[in-house]
Structure 1
Amino acid sequence: MSLTMDWSSEQEKMDIPAAWGQRLEQLLVLAGQAEGILEGEVAVTFVDDARIHELNRQYRGIDRPTDVLSFAMQEDGEDELDIVFEVEEESDELPFIEPLGDIIISVETAARQAEEYGHSLEREIGFLFVHGFLHLIGYDHQDAEAEAVMTAKQEAVLQQAGLTRS
């Protein structure tokens, strides 16, 4: 098994090039290797500001759009039910790939941020994807120390992939 990714677009503001999917798969492998995570599935959805605003309000109680949201499958919430999978030993089915979670990216916000920061949209999408992936596996940035750790990890992966700030 390996790390896999599926992506879709639920917005009409921008055409999403197939090359983005390939780039995100590369980033997933690099980030996974850096963190010792070699198996799992990530779902990525590109949305517009209106949709991410709605999700941000619904799930985080923040009434404004944001750039990226992550929904980890491995989080244990007080009100969540345990998920139990039954696997038959003599099954001819493909092995089950454990979902790591969903990453939702606003392409509108990403485009604005890329322009503001003076780098390519591809780099910004890559940054948001790696940021979202790190959230899926348990990283956060609630304080300066945790933010510095996440930033360093994100930049290392982006550098390795050739997505530099320029």
Structure 2
Amino acid sequence: MIYLENEQEILEVTKDFENKLKEVIDFALREEKVHIPYEVSVLLVDNEKIRGINSEHRGIDKATDVLSFPQLNYPKGYVFKDVYIEHKFSPCELDGEDLVLGDIVLSLERANEQSVEYGHSFLRECCYLVVHSVLHLLGYDHMEEEEKDLMRKREEEILCKLNITR
């Protein structure tokens, strides 16, 4: 289940846009071998709101494009690739039958700015940021070069399969 809430008023959010984000999240999770019911929450915000969340949770007082709040703890370097998730999680990590993966906070205002800066569509930028965030929810990171390379590769592979290109 994907919960999506729009808390910004700067950009119009259509049902088609919401459905596309949900489709991208679901596809990315299936590509990463998540074959059990799951929960992901997505909060759409503006730069001011994400700045406050970034400051509160990370101690960084500036706006960013997307924040990920995984609900599961992974060992350092752990990635879901080719793992059969059905046998990995304890009942305390489930909400009923659903695996609670976490929350995504996406600044549509920043995504719009970046789409102009990078010369591609707003939709493409949002889809990229959502895939990026989903991978964080699954234990990917980009702090070290090897991790960053793997994460970027997976982002591009998933977007390519969805035919979402630059």
TM range (shorter): 0.7 to 0.9
Number of equivalences: 149
Normalized against structure 1, the TM-score is what?
0.83
Partner of 2:87: none
* Bigger-Rg structure (1/2): 1
Shift of 1:154: 0.7
Unpaired segments of 5 or more residues in structure 2?
A: 75-90
Tell me how far apart the structure 1 counterparts of residues 34 and 162 of structure 2 sit (CA, whole Å): 18
Partner of 1:41: 39
Distance 1:84 1:30, change over 3 A: closer
Query: Is residue 2:162 matched to residue 1:161?
Result: yes
Partner of 1:62: 60
Distance 1:98 1:114, change over 3 A: same
Secondary structure in structure 2 of the residue aligned to 1:130:
helix
Tell me how far apart the structure 2 counterparts of residues 139 and 86 of structure 1 sit (CA, whole Å): 20
Do the aligned residues in 1 keep the contact of 2:70 with 2:103 (CA within 8 Å)? yes
Do the aligned residues in 1 keep the contact of 2:68 with 2:103 (CA within 8 Å)? yes
Tell me how far apart the structure 1 counterparts of residues 49 and 69 of structure 2 sit (CA, whole Å): 15
For residues 35-73 of structure 1, the C-alpha deviation after alignment (integer angstroms, 9 at most, x for no partner) is 111231111110000010001011011110100001111
Shift of 1:84: 4.3
Tell me how far apart the structure 2 counterparts of residues 66 and 122 of structure 1 sit (CA, whole Å): 17
Structure 1 residue ranges, 4+ long, deviating more than 2 angstroms after superposition: 83-87
Unpaired segments of 5 or more residues in structure 1?
A: 77-82, 88-94
Letter in 2 for 1:71: F
Query: Is residue 2:5 matched to residue 1:8?
Result: yes
Partner of 1:28: 25
Query: Is residue 2:107 matched to residue 1:106?
Result: yes
Shift of 1:86: 10
Distance 1:112 1:86, change over 3 A: closer
Normalized against structure 2, the TM-score is what?
0.83
What are the equivalent positions in structure 2 for 1:80-159 lying under 5 Å apart?
Answer: 84=92, 95-159=96-160
Tell me how far apart the structure 1 counterparts of residues 94 and 146 of structure 2 sit (CA, whole Å): 41
Letter in 2 for 1:105: L
Partner of 1:75: 73
| CA RMSD between the two structures | 2.0
